[in-house]
């Protein structure tokens, strides 16, 4: 990272908290602007790598892949080689495509694998054991995307991540504190301690963080492509880790893994086209479904933050998440009624019982009739000057996944098996309920809430957005999109504005501190909305982390969510 950029970043971090609180008074951090393209991600180091790729002649796909591999080094709580993700791509010729590299259940997985003899869930088995690990997809997905649509070769795109892992980088306060908070859970796994502790002691801010085993794993991928991860030494190390802890992933599971090319979910909202991720993500379907429910109403006329508009949005969220529980799963294994769920006719029927003056009761809201469908993740957004755009969301599920590093390979493993419905109508770690559509089956991809999204206007990308946050991913993305389209906000305001979330069950509304004024909160409670739970809005907290990019008459705008230590950068900012 250039010294001047690092200094500006450190200075901005000190101010971000006060700026975020100041948003209640109309103050928000400014979006960066560049004519040559833009990258926004959770890691300043990864963002700068993506911007350098653009400066060196790479396109948005090259930059997104380089950023993705860099995040595996610089943001290990969610960036990964041992997890999975989704990528939505808009090409300069107008083509849109999605790459699904979600993890899959191992071949030896079974429907009741997390239940005891009495049919009850075994606490921790789906989140904190080797059985929790799904077959990783990130490496296959990133390399497939690069091979099909990238402009630069694998060696060039991966080298910056390898250099960061091999030579190390100086830990900032954010990462050092993350490592320190998790020393107790890392202690269960010697390979995790070897990576995330400094000779047995917690790392401190300012110390050099070197990841030699991870650098060697990245080199094998750089040299051999997918075979450098799914075969050979890395595969042997991963399978050995599974065997040590009673996990299920085999060599056959790794050899059989392939990313899938899918048609994106496409909808319209007030003259804009919404392009988002299809199943096994629930994000695109729910985003379009909620926008369809809201489109007949004058959201702008109601005013941002009004009780009327918030009530309307909560009721749309309540119905969409109820449908998620019933109808959403891996469409390769279950007949997800995608066409019906994203139709405007279905939205009209689904919202027919909406009462403008009274909250619904979630227990009374069932799934719609369909004819015979972490908190730790991370999102990056990229646009280039040629008209390509990428929305990329990747995850290990919970923060640092299963907390276990593959001995000798240096990367963390996911705990994505928890995203299946281990038991019908029983909530997962995010409180989300699932049923038959998302039951565990060998080779199946678990349902996700990741919502990488591109908003197009007149066939050209206007906004690239998405977020981490488990079940709050979808509603975070919804609010960023509505802030831009309905309320005409700048990108900085659209990303920074306080957020709220409802997911049907449990029947409660989580909201950031400044999302509801006292009067608005009183009106919502008077309508019957229960459990309005405030989430402290501070640096490192809050709902979502929507690192976004938007095209405007001024150029490409990039906005790192002020809730966290991310960064936005274009080629023009390099060296400044």
Q: Are residues 157 and 53 in the same domain?
A: yes
Give the structural domain span for 390.
44-89+101-257+386-438
Transcribe 251-318 into DSSP letters. Answer: HHHHHH---EEEPPEEEEETTEEEEE--TTBSHHHHHHHHHHHHTTS-HHHH-TT-HHHHHHHHHHHH
Q: Are residues 239 and 331 in the same domain?
A: no
The answer to whether the beta carbons of residues 67 and 47 sit under 8 Å apart is yes
Q: Are residues 429 and 476 in the same domain?
A: no
Interatomic CA distance for residues 39 and 98, integer angstroms: 19
The structural domain count of the chain equals 2
Interatomic CA distance for residues 310 and 307, integer angstroms: 5
Determine what percent of the chain is predicted with pLDDT higher than 70: 90
Q: Are residues 394 and 459 in the same domain?
A: no
Q: Are residues 230 and 285 in the same domain?
A: no
Q: Are residues 60 and 161 in the same domain?
A: yes
Q: Are residues 490 and 563 in the same domain?
A: yes
Q: Are residues 493 and 564 in the same domain?
A: yes
Whether residue 302 lies inside any domain: the answer is yes
Out of 309-318, 330-339, 370-379, least confident range: 370-379
The answer to whether the beta carbons of residues 147 and 264 sit under 8 Å apart is no
Per-residue three-class SS string for 175-230: HHHHHHHCHHHHCCCHHHHHHHEECCEECCCCCEECCHHHHHHHHHHHHHCCHHHH
| Final residue before a domain boundary, out of 404, 438, 472 | 438
Residues with catalytic function: 377
Residues 6+ apart with CB under 8 A from 173: 13, 205
- The model's pLDDT over 33-78, given as tens digits with 9 standing for 90+, comes to 999 999 999 999 999 999 999 999 999 999 999 999 999 999 999 9
Whether residue 74 lies inside any domain: the answer is yes
Whether residue 19 lies inside any domain: the answer is no
- Residue 550, domain CATH: 1.10.246.130
Buried b (16+ CB within 10 A) or exposed e, 242-254: beebebbbbeebb
The answer to whether the beta carbons of residues 114 and 276 sit under 8 Å apart is no
Interatomic CA distance for residues 293 and 306, integer angstroms: 18
Q: How many residues does the chain have?
A: 576
Alpha helices in 56-172 (DSSP H): 60-74, 138-149, 154-167
Q: Mean pLDDT across the chain, nearest whole number?
A: 91
Whether residue 13 lies inside any domain: the answer is no
pLDDT of residue 470: 80
Q: Are residues 475 and 562 in the same domain?
A: yes
- The model's pLDDT over 502-527, given as tens digits with 9 standing for 90+, comes to 988 888 899 998 899 999 999 999 99
| Nearest alpha carbon to residue 503 among 279, 284, 309, 320 | 320
Whether residue 445 lies inside any domain: the answer is no
- The model's pLDDT over 403-452, given as tens digits with 9 standing for 90+, comes to 999 999 999 999 999 989 866 655 555 455 555 788 999 999 999 999 99
Determine what percent of the chain is predicted with pLDDT higher than 90: 82
| Nearest alpha carbon to residue 137 among 467, 519, 416, 553 | 416
Q: Are residues 411 and 359 in the same domain?
A: no
Q: Are residues 203 and 235 in the same domain?
A: yes
Q: Are residues 250 and 307 in the same domain?
A: no
| Nearest alpha carbon to residue 453 among 144, 148, 96 | 96
pLDDT mean over 107-124: 94
């Amino acid at each position: 990272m250039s010294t001047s950029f690092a200094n500006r970043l450190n200075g901005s971090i000190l101010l971000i908290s006060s700026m975020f609180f100041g948003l209640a008074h109309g103050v928000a951090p400014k979006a960066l602007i560049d004519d040559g393209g833009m990258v926004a991600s959770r890691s300043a180091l990864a963002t700068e790598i993506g911007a350098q790729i653009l400066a060196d002649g790479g396109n948005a796909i090259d930059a997104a892949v380089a950023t993705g591999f860099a995040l595996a080094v610089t943001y290990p709580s969610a960036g990964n080689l041992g997890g999975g993700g989704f990528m939505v791509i808009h090409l300069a010729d107008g083509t849109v495509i999605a790459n699904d590299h979600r993890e899959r259940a191992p071949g030896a997985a079974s429907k009741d694998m997390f239940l005891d003899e009495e049919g009850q869930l075994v606490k921790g088995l789906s989140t904190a054991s080797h059985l929790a690990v799904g077959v990783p997809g990130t490496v296959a997905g990133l390399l497939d995307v690069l091979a099909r649509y990238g402009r630069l070769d694998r060696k060039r795109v991966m080298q910056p991540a390898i250099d960061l892992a091999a030579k190390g980088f100086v830990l900032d306060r954010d990462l050092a504190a993350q490592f320190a908070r998790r020393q107790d859970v890392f202690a269960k796994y010697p390979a995790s301690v070897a990576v995330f502790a400094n000779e047995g002691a917690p790392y401190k801010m300012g110390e050099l963080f070197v990841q030699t085993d991870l650098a060697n794993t990245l080199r094998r991928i750089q040299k051999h492509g997918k075979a450098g991860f799914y075969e050979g030494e890395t595969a042997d190390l991963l399978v050995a880790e599974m065997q040590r802890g009673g996990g299920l992933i085999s060599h056959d599971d790794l050899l059989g893994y392939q990313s899938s090319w899918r048609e994106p979910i496409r909808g319209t909202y007030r003259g804009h086209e919404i392009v988002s991720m299809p199943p096994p993500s629930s994000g695109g379907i729910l985003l379009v479904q909620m926008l369809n429910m809201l489109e007949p109403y004058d959201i702008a006329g109601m005013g941002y933050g009004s009780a009327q508009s918030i009530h309307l949005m909560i009721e749309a969220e309540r119905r969409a998440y109820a449908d998620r529980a019933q109808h959403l799963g891996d469409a390769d294994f279950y007949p997800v009624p995608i066409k019906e769920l994203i139709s405007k006719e279905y939205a009209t029927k689904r919202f027919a019982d909406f009462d403008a003056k009274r909250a619904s009761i979630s227990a009374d809201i069932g799934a719609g009739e369909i004819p015979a469908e972490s908190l730790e993740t991370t999102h990056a957004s990229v646009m280039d000057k040629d008209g390509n755009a990428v929305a990329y969301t990747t995850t290990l599920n919970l923060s640092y996944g299963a907390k276990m590093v593959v001995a000798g390979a240096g990367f963390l493993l996911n705990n994505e098996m928890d995203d299946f419905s281990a038991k019908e109508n029983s909530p997962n770690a995010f409180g989300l309920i699932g049923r038959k559509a998302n039951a565990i089956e060998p080779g199946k991809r678990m349902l996700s809430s990741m919502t990488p999204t591109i908003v197009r206007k007149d066939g050209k990308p206007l906004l690239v957005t998405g977020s981490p946050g488990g079940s709050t991913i979808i509603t975070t993305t919804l609010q960023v999109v509505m802030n831009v389209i309905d309320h005409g906000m700048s990108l900085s305001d659209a990303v920074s504005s306080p957020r709220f979330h409802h997911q049907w069950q449990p029947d409660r509304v989580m909201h950031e501190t400044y999302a509801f004024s006292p009067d608005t909160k009183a009106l919502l409670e008077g309508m019957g909305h229960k459990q309005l739970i405030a989430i402290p809005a501070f640096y490192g907290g809050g709902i979502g982390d929507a690192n976004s990019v938007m095209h405007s008459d001024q150029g490409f705008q990039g906005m790192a969510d002020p809730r966290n230590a991310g960064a936005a950068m274009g080629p023009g900012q390099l060296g400044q």
